[in-house]
Amino acid sequence: MADITTLILNDHTWFRQQFARLDVLQSRTPPPIEALGKVWGPLAARLDVHALAEEQIFYPQLLRKGENPEAETLDAIGDHNDIRDGVHAAAGHLIGTPEWWQAVGQARLANDEHMGEEEREGLSDFRQHAPIGLRESLGRQFAAYLGAHPRTTGLDTSDKDPQAYVEGVEAGFDPGAAPTDGSLGIGSLRGRPGR
């Protein structure tokens, strides 16, 4: 039975390994486009799904149990947006082109910076302040979410307003609930009047 902070850490290790595989492929002449796609496709999907799983399962509980959760969560959602921006920019270019490498590099940089911070802040905070029973129960949910979403099909991977996300969770909105009319999803809260 795995603690959610361990599962998140495992994903981070996997991300680093996949970017290392891209380094090896990049060193070849000519660049093996098909092989690049086979590494990047699952990596891009997992970067998006991992961020969503954290936003639906980890950060709402960090906000309840953490010692300094608001600042950590605001940072994390902003970082997730930067990662998403890189991943989605890459999707707009042909694999192996300079523009694609630039977008992949942007996603990598944002992800590297974020993982270090998340490991040092949110994950550390949660290990110290959330009971092991909760961490394991969330670990089960996290694993189930990842298993149910090998791809991003059907998921809303758009950027979220960090402040609206935190306020939404604190107001009791379920970040995992699908919006019924486009107005109640956490990701849509930035559109509320007065914001």
Closest contact distance (angstroms) between CB of 42 and Fe ion is 16
- Give the phi and the psi of residue 122 in degrees, each rounded to 5: -60, -45
Binding residues for Fe ion, per CB under 5 A? 8, 54, 118
Q: In the block, which residue shows the tokens 């099909």?
A: 153
- Min. distance of Cβ 50 from Fe ion in angstroms? 6
CB of 118 to Fe ion, least distance (A): 5
Determine phi and psi for 192, rounding to 5 degrees: -65, 145
Identify which of residues 54 and 161 has a Cβ nearer to Fe ion in the complex.
Answer: 54
Comparing CB distances to Fe ion, the nearer of 8 and 130 is 8
Q: What is the distance between the alpha carbons of residues 29 and 41, in angstroms, rounded to a whole number?
A: 21
Interhelix angle 162-170/69-90, rounded to 10 degrees, is 130
Contacts of 177 (CB under 8 A, 6+ apart): 184, 185
CB of 126 to Fe ion, least distance (A): 12
| Residue closer to Fe ion, measured from CB, 69 or 96 | 69
State both tokens at 17: 């390994």
- Asked if residue 127 lies in contact with residue 5, where contact means CB atoms within 8 angstroms, the answer is yes
Residue 16 beta carbon to Fe ion: minimum distance, rounded to whole angstroms: 12
Spell out the residues 6+ positions from residue 112 whose beta carbon is closer than 8 angstroms to its own.
16
- Judged by beta carbon, residue 46 or residue 100, the one nearer Fe ion is 46
Residue where the block lists tokens 């998140």: 8
Task: Report the nearest approach of Fe ion to the CB of residue 7 (Å).
Answer: 10
| Cβ-based nearer residue to Fe ion, 54 or 121 | 54
Token digits of residue 14: 């996997």
Nearer CB in complex with Fe ion: 8/107 = 8
Radius of gyration, CA atoms only, the chain: 17
